[in-house]
Homo-oligomer: A and B are copies of this chain.
């Protein structure tokens, strides 16, 4: 079969011919029909420090995908051949201390698809049944292909009460734009979007369901439709920070506010704990992955009920042969997600 591989421990990507992966009695083999490129994939292509320390070559990478079940193991009950599926990319062991307490998304022995085991940039990918997600018939395949990052945003945004409260989203990449949509679908009274860079096209499109214009709840100039400015402190319930480029200093919103941190900041953060966390009685939450599968059910329901529309963030739909172009679009920041 056709696959895209990191063949050697150096920058670059290789299109290869690979054997179709074998599957055990609890596994599902999936014909991949669409995929999307994540920031993680760029790290792998570029072979940065993180990639060099984590990836064992050769490795077919990629983890955001949609497909159709091609075959199932003898013990598989959840899906049948022909079902449209995607999957949770954190393959958990189910037996560690975290998994046994219901924290599969924090599994101590997690294997990530396309990072620790063969990924989805290929004709076929194999997942254990426990990680397979059957796609709702109303959800198109290009949306299903981004359930992984969208699930990150749902998990982060819904990690506390939202309805009738005010939020800022720091970092306006695709997950940040998803989070804006989820917060608004969940009844946030006001959402500010904050980013260092001027909003690219994708963000302006996202603004169809995007951050709120200047006039908040009668309080004057608060949000920045241009998406680069800080919101007023005060009656602010929380921050959502899906970003690798978190500012070095975190400022906390109003009393008992929450800051939900997602992503991988490259450096330690300096926090004025006394002023920002302790005196304000704040909650700082680390968010990792998605709740398996609680987040998925809520994501499906938000999508199929029409509460959440993420299409504006999907900027490019490309063909199979355009993989390198997709990588470049992604790298340039011009693309939200492409597949």
User: Which residues of A does B touch, CB under 8 Å?
Assistant: 77-78, 93-95, 97-98, 100-106, 108, 129-130, 136-138, 154, 158, 161-166, 182, 185-187, 189-190, 212, 217-218, 234-235, 246, 249, 252, 254-256, 261-266, 268-274, 276-288, 291-294, 296-302, 304-305, 307
Contacts and interface: CB of A to CB of B under 8 A. Distances in A.
A101 B235 CA distance: 11
A101 B294 contact: yes
A187 B187 contact: yes
Contact of A255 (B106, B162, B278): B106
A185 B274 CA distance: 28
A98 B129 CA distance: 16
B273 A97 contact: no
B278 A274 contact: no
A106 B298 contact: no
Contacts of A281: 103, 105-106, 285-288
B106 A256 contact: yes
Contact of A284 (B78, B284, B292): B284
B154 A158 contact: no
A104 B292 CA distance: 12
A254 B130 CA distance: 22
Nearest to A235: B97
24 contacts: A77-B93, A100-B293, A100-B294, A100-B296, A102-B102, A106-B279, A154-B164, A158-B161, A158-B163, A164-B186, A164-B300, A164-B302, A165-B298, A165-B301, A185-B187, A189-B307, A190-B301, A218-B304, A269-B270, A271-B271, A277-B285, A280-B286, A283-B283, A284-B284
Given A100-B296, A187-B302, A189-B305, 20 more contacts: A98-B254, A98-B255, A100-B292, A102-B292, A103-B281, A158-B163, A162-B187, A163-B185, A163-B186, A164-B186, A164-B300, A165-B298, A165-B301, A186-B187, A189-B304, A261-B273, A273-B286, A277-B285, A278-B288, A281-B288
Contacts of A158: 161, 163-164
- Scoring A97, A105, A280, A305 by chain B CB atoms within 10 A of each residue's CB, the highest score goes to A305
A234 B97 contact: yes
A254 B77 contact: no
Contacts of A278: 261-264, 286-288
Nearest to A246: B273
Contacts of A300: 164, 217
Contacts of A212: 305
Contacts of A136: 217-218
Nearest to A273: B269
A102 B285 CA distance: 20
A299 B95 contact: no
